Amino acid sequence: MTEQDEWAFWREARAGGKPLTTPGTPHSGFFRSYFWTADGAAEGKRVKASRGVSIWRDGDDRHGDDWQCLVTSGYCPNNRIDIDELFASCCNHSISREEFMRVLNGGRFDDDVPIIDIGTGHNNPPDDLTPDQALAAEISAMEAQCRAWLKGLPNGTPQTKAEANLCANYAIKFGEFEKRASDAHKIEKAPFLESGRLVDAKWFAPVRDIAAGLKAKIKAIGDGWLTRENARLAEEARKVNEAARAAAAEADRKAREEADKAGAAPPPKTVVQEVVAERTKIGTAGRSISQRSKKEWVIEDMPAVSAYFAGLETPPAELIEVLTKLANKVCAAGVSVPGTKAVTTTSSV
C-alpha cells in the first residue's frame, strides 16, 4: 500500500468528505477522541473530555499487526484490536497534524474551554469557602473568562466553526455548573425534606385532618339551618316588598285620579325602598359562619360565545393563549384547523 493510499481516508475527511470505513480497518491520520472522565472539580461526576489521537502503520504488510498509536492523554492502545476500536470512535473527528502536535505539547483544542484558576490552582477554591461559595467563585471566574473571550471577537459573535464550538462548549460548561448546583442543593436539602415529612406525618393525618373532617361534617349541619333561615328571611323580605309595591301602586292610582279631576299634571310615581333580607350568621365562639352567594355564567350557545370574543377588536390574551395551545395540539395530531398556518422556529438544544 502506498503512502497516499495509507492516508487517503484522513485526507478526504480533512477536505470535508465523508469517507467510508469498515470495522477492523483502521486508517492512518490525526483525530480527536471524545470520552467521559471523572472530573475532581465536579465531585466525582463524569464529564465529557477529548484528546488527540494519531494512528499510523509501520511497514508494508497491509494485513499485519504493525499499527501504531499515540494519544495526547490517557491510555494509549498498543495492539491492532484496541487501535481499531479507538479509530472507530474517533474516525468522524479528523484534525490537522498541527493541532494534534499543539495538544500533544501541552496546548488545547481551539474549542476547548480553558481551565479556570480562581486563586489556589485549577478549579480548587480557597479552603475557607463553603461549597456554595466555592462553586459561585468558579462560575464567576468562568464568566469573566468567557466575557473576555467574547470581547475579543468581532461584534462579540463567533466567525468560525471553532469559535462557534467554543461558544457552545462554554454554554455546556455553565450547564455543568447548573447541574452541580442542583445536585448539591438536592443533597443538602434532603435531610430537611425528610424532617418535614416526619413533622407532617406527626401532625397532619392523625391530628389536623381529623379535626378538619369533623369541622366539615358539623359545619354542613349548621349550613342546613343557615340555608333554611336565609330562605325564610328572603321570603319575608319578598312579601314586604310586594306589599309595599302594591300600596305604592294604589297610592299612585288615587293620586292620578285626583289630578285628573283637578285638571293638574299627573304626580311622579312613588319610589319604593325595597327591603333587602339580611343574611344571618351562626356561631358566637370568637368567629361566625355565614353563607354568601356567587353569580356565575354558564355557556348555553358555544358558537355564539366564540363569535362574540373572536369578533372583538382585541380578543382577550387568555383566549389567544388557550386557542394557540389547542390549535398546536390538534394540528400536531394531523388535523387541519382553519385559520392556522405552520411557522417553523429554531432553537438550540
The pLDDT of residue 111? 86
The pLDDT of residue 120? 45
Within 13 A of 35's CA, how many CA atoms are on the CB side? 18
With 0-12 / 13-18 / 19 or more C-beta atoms within 10 angstroms meaning exposed / middle / buried, residue 67 is: buried
What are 153-197's pLDDT values in tens digits?
A: 999 999 998 899 999 999 989 999 999 999 999 999 999 999 999
C-alpha to C-alpha distance for 104 and 30, rounded to whole angstroms = 12
Cβ–Cβ under 8 Å, residues 256 and 267: yes
The pLDDT of residue 74? 87
Within 13 A of 49's CA, how many CA atoms are on the CB side? 17
C-alpha to C-alpha distance for 347 and 14, rounded to whole angstroms = 29
The pLDDT of residue 33? 92
Residues in the chain with pLDDT values less than 70: 1-4, 37-47, 59-65, 117-127
The CB-based long-range contact list for 249-256 (8 Å cut-off, 24+ gap) reads: none
- How many Cβ atoms are within 10 Å of 32's Cβ, its own excluded? 19
Return the ∠ at Cα 207 (arms to 206 and 211), rounded to 5°: 120
What are 290-319's pLDDT values in tens digits?
A: 888 888 999 999 999 989 998 999 999 999
Q: What is the DSSP string of 45-88?
A: -EEEEEEEEEEEE-SS-TTSS-EEEEESSS----SHHHHHHHHH
Q: What is the DSSP string of 230-248?
A: HHHHHHHHHHHHHHHHHHH
The H or E element spanning position 31 is strand 29-38
Dump strand ranges (E) for 120-178. Answer: none
C-alpha to C-alpha distance for 280 and 215, rounded to whole angstroms = 20
Within 13 A of 33's CA, how many CA atoms are on the CB side? 26
Both ends of the chain: CA-CA distance in Å? 44
